[in-house]
């Protein structure tokens, strides 16, 4: 029986602020799961701490709401133990690029086959609007006593530098684009990251829905706003590496596009490279039986509780008498 | 004792020595001491050889094998009368103060001892002269001349390529002095250098050269090391290997770690053995494997292990004090979410970031209290290398039965000690997985991961089990696992979690939680935990020979503490003596808190060195004779 969108919802009340971008992300994620027809019990959604972190509670699938900045290590542990799981990690910009930055970097190096969605709104919402690592230098959002003294990190460029093999940007209020981007990320063989631009109606009064929509820049002829976000694919940009020789040029192109911000903000796939072996493949090279018999599926004891590990050989190696 | 600069083969030399002794049916116990340094600073390995099993270090050195001048100066006064010092003939003229590696506190202490003894040796040779009167003999071996001979024989133009073999020259000379059967030594060399025939043949040459040199030049040492034929199956290993083997047998299939001394040895050994055969596997022809994951830090390490444990995998992480400090938040999360994760915690001395390579037992209180908030946890402490094996396996049973983190406390002395042990018995290990529901068992109806039950234990499913879903959160939660800040839910849910500890306390028998040795009716009872066990047992043996009656209560599970049992044992004793490798007698404090029973004497040590049987003996004896202060501080060991 086909799974319906409603099957991916829980009755838990979503307590985000009215107008929060998280609602769009949640809807897009639930739609993507439903369109991919992923069974609930195969899906595990991991989150960190912050507004984004409540997401798993609203999705009818295994949901692991972890610690601030630590969602990636939890998810990696679960995925490596049971590679049949479809693991989707959600994180905030402060969560993933501030306190969890070390995990973000090292996750790129591993290319575990899973998906990471970053909810990027430039502020720490739950603690009342402090500057997040993606807020640009000199900006002063509503609750900052002084303008931001740090430069903002560029998550697309950072992901590229650290080895993510699928890097995309989307927008919380463009649910259709986001849903399609999430589906691509989930289908990608390797570590995918989607940076989701998301207004925070309560604390970020600069990068608002109106700002992203360009309502401050109406076309003098048509009178219509000129949105800041545009779609990369509509410009003919193709971030996909089609042969290993293209890796360098595609990275350079992606890095170049990643610099765009302000008046024009690209959305879509910046870079995708499936020629990099996944962590699971790397393990399989060392442990050929890994995918068929991963840690979570190994019989460790017989029904009476006798261990299956045959330790005799290892003990023989240590033997000095007898 | 073998001593030399780090990187000069102290370890491999001492291991060859130990292995050769074991091949001859002798028992060994080896203590390894080293600096936090890669090359150049002093390290030593003290190997005890005995006809009987030995499980502790002693102060006495019978034969000091030195590779350099510093080792002579540092250890010469530890050599017992009738003993000998093997040293480099080329270093006899070295001026003591010209040795570049002295730390200031050492020189101060050295100067003080010289003043006390009223001697003023300038050179290494002078120093060795001063101990002649106490019948400590010097056996100067011209290492470089012997190496030059070898170079000529094998046509090696670069002598520097051979200096690595000074360790084998030194141990060859020592074996020559005691006329030990060469075949065992040769076998040990072959076993140590494995598949490198060139290196084996060179080292065999060095062995023979030094052995023969000692036999020809030095004459009778007055002691012959005789092999003891035995049929007993024995293994030679260090604590980190015992833990690793216990984990493999115990069904651990995913291990995470961040490099740290001395815990990392365990993970490296596991990685070497990541694929293994299965015995009575329900799936025919399957091989077993373990993923060993080097994480980016200890925060990632514990959280990866928890993520894996959620999937029903037996997962663990292995670390030392500074790493555990970083794991604390993750530990709390695992406790709150009832995750059966195991942490093998190798204690070492000092706080941030520690005496990285030195011993300590300072972290019992930390393991007990780490994390904000409250949650149940179980703490196991191993007292010797055998217990390291069995405890590492059973830690997973407790973790899964009570669905909570288990901290297995080990320490540097156990981690790095080498011991000949009777062959382990993996067949005595049984796996108990607690209430883990299968796909069939969970089918139908709504699954409640954190169902409130009388025992506090809620039947668990592995993440990924078809037909179920659950939620986790570090916040307080309802039975499904969704966040709940409702006061009644918080009250009931924490109460449920904490009840698991009472259930564990009720279910786990005392004999799994304490050991008692010695005289059951003795008026003196020693209370300890962890690695002092070996030294205490040996000290007791001597005390009993001296007609003192004494008992020893070894606590293996300080949490939940078997309070009634301990109160009963200690209630009968007139004199209670705590022996611990820390400043504040941490276990004694916990016992007092839980039972109201206070210790009469404290024997403590925090010098960064493990306790020797001698100093424990002396301190216990003083206490038993009523001549000791309430608190004795031990300082032996260099």
Substitution target from A14, A84, A309 for chain B, most B beta carbons within 10 A: A309
pLDDT of residue B547: 87
Q: pLDDT, tens digit, for every residue of A205-215?
A: 999 999 999 99
| B234: CB partners within 8 A, 6+ apart | A319, A320, A321, A322, B22, B27, B420, B421, B422, B423
Nearest CA in chain B to A292: B286
pLDDT tens readout for residues B217-256: 998 899 999 999 999 999 999 999 999 999 999 999 999 9
CB atoms inside a 10 Å sphere around CB A11: 7
Domain-located, residue A291: no
CB-based contacts of B1, cutoff 8 Å, min separation 6: B44, B45, B46, B47, B61, B63, B64, B65, B75, B78
Quick check: A278 and A111 in contact, CB under 8 A? yes
Please list every residue in chain A whose beta carbon sits closer than 8 Å to the beta carbon of residue B469.
Answer: 40-41, 60-63
At the top level of CATH, the class of B510-633 is alpha beta
Question: Phi first, then psi: what are they for B120, rounded to 5°?
Answer: -135, 65
The DSSP letter of residue A278 is P
Residue B283: what pLDDT?
79
Closest Cα in chain B, distance from residue A173 (Å): 27
Q: Which residues contact B478 (CB under 8 A, 6 or more apart)?
A: B450, B484, B489, B493
Distance CA A50, CA A199 (A): 15
Rg (CA), chain A: 22
In percent, the amount of chain B with pLDDT more than 70 equals 100
Question: From the list A65, A306, A320, which residue is nearest B471 (CB)?
Answer: A65
Q: What is the mean pLDDT of chain A?
A: 97
Q: Give tens-digit pLDDT for A3-21.
A: 999 999 999 999 999 999 9
Mutate to test the interface with A, among B311, B314, B444 (most CBs of A within 10 A): B311
CATH code (residue A68): 3.40.50.970
Given this model, what pLDDT does residue B366 score?
A: 98
Each residue's pLDDT tens digit, B267-311: 999 999 999 999 877 778 889 999 999 999 999 999 999 999 999
pLDDT value at position B285? 80
Domain ranges for chain B = 2-218, 237-423, 436-507, 510-633
How far, rounded to the nearest angstrom, does the alpha carbon of residue B148 sit from its chain's CA centroid?
39
* pLDDT tens per residue across span B543-589: 999 988 999 999 999 999 999 999 999 999 999 999 999 999 999 99
Residue of A nearest to B187 (CA): A320
CB-based burial of residue A144 (10 Å sphere; 0-12 exposed, 13-18 middle, 19+ buried)? Answer: middle
Closest listed residue to residue B524, CA positions, set B605, B606, B622: B622
Antiparallel, parallel or unpaired: β B551-555 and B524-528: parallel
Contacts of B235 in chain A (CB under 8 A): 315, 318-320
| A216: containing domain | 5-282
Of A46, A85, A303, the CB nearest to B464: A85
Please report, rounded to a whole number, the percentage of residues in chain B having pLDDT higher than 90: 95
Tell me which residues of chain A, numbers 25 to 84, contact chain B at a CB-CB cutoff of 8 Å: 39-42, 44, 46, 49, 54, 56-57, 60-67, 70, 72-82, 84
Best mutation site among A311, A312, A313 for testing chain B: the one with the most B CBs within 10 Å? A311
User: Quick check: is A251 in a domain?
Assistant: yes
Q: Is 90 exceeded by the pLDDT of residue A235?
A: yes
CB-CB neighbors (< 8 A) of A307 in chain B: 249-251, 279, 393, 426, 429-431
Q: What is the mean pLDDT of residues A274-296?
A: 97
pLDDT beyond 90 at B445: no
Residue A1 confidence (pLDDT) above 80: no
Cα separation, B188 vs B406, in Å, equals: 38
Q: Do B463 and A64 touch (CB under 8 A)?
A: yes
- Rounded CA separation B126/B226 (Å): 34
Task: Tell me the pLDDT tens digit for each residue of B82-129.
Answer: 999 999 999 999 999 999 999 999 999 999 999 999 999 999 999 999
Q: Give exposure, B359-390, as e/b (b: 16+ Cβ within 10 Å).
A: bbbbbbebbbebbeeebbbbbbbbbbbbbbbb
Count H helices and E strands in chain B, helices first: 21, 25
- pLDDT of B444 strictly over 80: no
pLDDT the model gives residue B284: 80
In the predicted model, what is the mean pLDDT of residues A274-293? 97
Counting the structural domains of chain A, the total is: 1
The beta-strand segments (E) located in B482-615 are 514-518, 524-528, 551-555, 575-580, 601-604
In a domain, A126, yes or no: yes
Residue contact A65–B474, C-beta within 8 A? yes
Q: Which residues contact B528 (CB under 8 A, 6 or more apart)?
A: B383, B536, B552, B553, B554, B555, B578, B579, B580, B587
Q: Domain B237-423: give its CATH architecture.
A: 3-Layer(aba) Sandwich (3.40)
Average predicted confidence (pLDDT) for chain B: 96
Nearest alpha carbon to residue B452 among B486, B484, B485, B499: B499
Please give the distance of CA B438 from its chain centroid, rounded to a whole number. Answer: 38
Phi-psi region of B530 (alpha: psi -120 to 50; beta: other; left: phi over 0): left
Chain B contact for A9 (CB, 8 A cutoff)? no
Q: Classify the phi-psi angles of B479: left when phi > 0, otherwise alpha if psi is within -120 to 50, otherwise beta.
A: alpha
> B601 exposed, middle or buried (CB, 10 Å; 0-12, 13-18, 19+)?
buried
**Which of B250, B430, B462 faces A296 most closely, judged by CB atoms?**
B462
Q: What residues of chain A lie within 8 A of the CB of B189, using their CB?
A: none
- Domain assignment of residue A101, yes or no: yes
Q: What percentage of chain A exceeds 90 in pLDDT?
A: 98
State the Cα–Cα distance between residues A181 and A188, nearest whole angstrom.
Answer: 10
Do strands B137-141 and B79-88 pair parallel, antiparallel, or not at all (unpaired)?
A: parallel
Pick A80's closest partner by Cβ from B280, B288, B293.
B293
Calculate the dihedral angle through the C-alpha atoms of B620, B624, B625, B626, rounding to the nearest 10 degrees: 100
Residue A27 inside a domain? The answer is yes
Give the rounded distance of the alpha carbon of A281 from its chain centre: 21
Q: What is the pLDDT of residues B22-47, one digit of tens each?
A: 999 999 999 999 999 999 999 999 99
Chain B, residues 381-400, CB within 8 A of chain A, namely 393
Q: What does the block give as tokens for B169?
A: 């020259």
What percentage of residues in chain A have a pLDDT greater than 70? Answer: 100
**Inter-chain CB proximity A105 and B296 less than 8 Å:** yes
**Best to test chain A binding among B241, B297, B469, B483 (most A CBs inside 10 Å):** B469
B237-423 and B510-633 have identical folds: yes
Cβ-contact B460, B420 below 8 angstroms:
no
Residue A298 lies in a domain: no
Measured between CA atoms, how close is B285 to chain A, in angstroms? 11
Residues 446-475 of B with CB under 8 A from A: 462-475
* Cα dihedral A72, A76, A78, A79 sign: positive
Each residue's pLDDT tens digit, A71-98? 999 999 999 999 999 999 999 999 999 9
Of B253, B311, B462, the CB nearest to A300: B253
Query: How many angstroms separate the CA of residue A122 from the nearest CA in chain B?
Result: 24
Interchain contact, B431 vs A300, CB within 8 Å: yes
CATH architecture, range B2-218: 3-Layer(aba) Sandwich (3.40)
Is the ipTM reported for this complex over the cut 0.85?
yes
User: Which residues are paired to B69 by β-bridges?
Assistant: none
Q: Which of A171-175, A240-244, B518-522 has the lowest mean pLDDT?
A: B518-522
A106-138: per-residue pLDDT in tens?
A: 999 999 999 999 999 999 999 999 999 999 999
Helix axes A279-286, A71-81, angle to 10 degrees: 40
Q: Give the pLDDT band of residue B195 (cuts 50, 70, 90).
A: confident
Residue from A50, A54, A289, A308 to probe the interface with B (highest B Cβ count within 10 Å): A308
């Amino acid at each position: 029986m086909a799974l319906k969108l409603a099957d991916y919802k829980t009755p838990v009340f979503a307590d985000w602020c009215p107008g929060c971008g998280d609602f769009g992300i949640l809807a897009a994620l639930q739609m993507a799961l439903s369109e991919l027809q992923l069974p609930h019990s195969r899906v595990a959604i991991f989150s960190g701490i912050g507004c984004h972190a409540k997401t798993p509670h609203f999705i009818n699938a295994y949901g692991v709401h972890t610690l601030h900045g630590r969602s990636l290590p939890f998810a990696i542990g679960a995925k490596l133990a049971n590679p049949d799981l479809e693991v989707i990690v959600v994180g905030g910009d402060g969560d993933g690029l501030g306190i969890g930055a070390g995990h973000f970097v090292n996750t790129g190096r591993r290319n575990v086959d899973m998906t990471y969605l970053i909810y990027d709104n430039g502020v720490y919402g739950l603690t009342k609007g402090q500057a997040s690592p993606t807020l640009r230098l000199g900006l002063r959002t509503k609750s900052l006593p002084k303008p931001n003294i740090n430069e903002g990190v560029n998550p697309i460029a950072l992901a590229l530098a650290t080895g993510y093999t699928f890097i995309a940007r989307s927008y919380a209020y463009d649910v259709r684009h986001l849903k399609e981007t999430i589906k691509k990320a989930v289908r990608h063989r390797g570590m995918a990251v989607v940076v989701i631009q998301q207004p925070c109606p309560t604390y970020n009064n600069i990068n608002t829905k109106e700002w992203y929509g360009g309502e401050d820049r109406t076309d003098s002829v048509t009178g219509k706003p000129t949105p800041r976000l545009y779609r990369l694919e509509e410009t003919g940009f193709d971030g996909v590496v089609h042969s290993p020789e293209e890796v360098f040029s595609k990275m350079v192109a992606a890095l170049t596009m990643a610099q765009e911000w302000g008046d024009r903000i690209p959305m879509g796939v910046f870079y995708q490279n499936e020629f990099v072996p996944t962590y699971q493949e790397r393990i399989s090279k060392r442990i050929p039986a890994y995918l068929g018999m991963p840690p979570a599926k190994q019989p460790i004891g017989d029904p009476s509780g006798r261990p299956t590990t045959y330790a005799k050989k290892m003990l023989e190696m240590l033997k000095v008498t007898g | 004792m073998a001593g030399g600069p780090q990187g000069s083969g102290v370890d491999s030399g001492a291991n060859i020595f130990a292995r050769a002794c074991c091949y001859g049916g002798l028992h060994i116990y080896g203590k390894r001491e080293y600096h936090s340094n890669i090359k150049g600073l002093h390290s030593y390995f003290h190997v005890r050889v005995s006809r009987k099993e030995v499980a502790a270090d002693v102060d006495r050195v019978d034969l000091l094998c030195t590779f350099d001048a510093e080792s002579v100066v540092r250890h010469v006064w530890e050599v017992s009368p009738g003993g000998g010092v093997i040293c480099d003939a080329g270093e006899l003229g070295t001026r003591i103060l010209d040795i570049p590696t002295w730390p200031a506190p050492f020189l101060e202490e050295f100067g003080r001892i010289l003043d006390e003894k009223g001697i003023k040796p300038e050179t290494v040779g002078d120093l060795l002269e001063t101990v002649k009167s106490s019948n400590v003999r010097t056996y100067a071996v011209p290492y470089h001349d012997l190496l030059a001979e070898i170079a000529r024989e094998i046509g090696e133009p670069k002598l520097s390529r051979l200096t690595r073999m000074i360790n084998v020259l030194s141990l060859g000379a020592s074996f020559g002095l005691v006329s030990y059967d060469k075949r065992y030594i040769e076998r040990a060399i072959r076993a140590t250098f494995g598949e490198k025939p060139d290196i084996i043949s060179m080292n065999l040459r060095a062995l023979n050269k030094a052995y023969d040199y000692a036999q020809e030049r030095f004459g009778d040492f007055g002691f012959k090391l005789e092999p003891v034929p035995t049929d007993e199956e024995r293994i030679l290993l260090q604590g980190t290997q015992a833990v690793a083997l216990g984990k493999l047998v115990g069904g651990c299939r995913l291990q995470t770690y961040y490099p740290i001394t001395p815990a990392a040895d365990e993970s490296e050994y596991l990685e070497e053995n990541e694929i293994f055969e299965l015995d009575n596997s329900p799936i025919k022809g399957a091989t077993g494997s373990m993923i060993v994951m080097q994480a980016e830090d200890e925060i990632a390490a514990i959280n990866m292990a928890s993520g894996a444990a959620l999937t029903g995998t037996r997962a663990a992480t292995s670390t030392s004090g500074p790493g555990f400090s970083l794991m604390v938040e993750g530990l709390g999360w695992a406790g709150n979410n009832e995750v059966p994760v195991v942490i093998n915690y190798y204690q070492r001395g000092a706080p941030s970031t520690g005496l990285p390579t030195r011993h300590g037992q300072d972290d019992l209180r930390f393991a007990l209290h780490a994390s904000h908030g409250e949650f149940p946890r179980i703490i196991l402490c191993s007292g010797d290398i055998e217990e390291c094996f069995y405890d590492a396996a059973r830690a997973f049973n407790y973790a899964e039965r009570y669905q909570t983190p288990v901290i297995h406390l080990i320490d540097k002395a156990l981690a790095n000690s080498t011991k000949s042990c009777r062959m382990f018995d993996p067949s005595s290990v049984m796996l108990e997985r607690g209430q883990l529901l299968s796909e069939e068992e969970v089918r139908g109806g709504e699954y409640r991961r954190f169902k409130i039950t009388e025992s506090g234990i809620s039947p668990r499913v592995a993440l990924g089990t078809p037909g179920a879903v659950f939620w986790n959160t570090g916040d307080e939660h309802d039975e499904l696992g969704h966040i709940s800040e409702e006061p009644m839910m918080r009250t009931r849910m924490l109460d449920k979690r904490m009840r698991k500890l009472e259930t564990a306390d009720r279910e786990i028998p005392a004999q799994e939680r304490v050991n008692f040795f010695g005289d059951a009716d003795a008026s003196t009872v020693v209370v300890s935990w962890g690695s002092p066990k070996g030294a205490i047992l040996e000290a007791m043996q001597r005390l009993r020979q001296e007609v003192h009656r004494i008992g020893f209560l070894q606590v293996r599970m300080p949490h939940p503490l078997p309070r009634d049992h301990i109160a009963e044992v200690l209630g009968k004793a007139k004199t209670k003596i705590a022996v611990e490798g820390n400043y504040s007698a941490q276990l004694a404090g916990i016992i007092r808190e839980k039972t109201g029973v206070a210790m009469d004497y404290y024997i403590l040590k925090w010098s960064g060195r493990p306790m020797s049987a001698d100093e424990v003996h002396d301190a216990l004896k003083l206490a038993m004779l009523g001549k000791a202060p309430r608190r004795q501080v031990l300082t032996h060991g260099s």
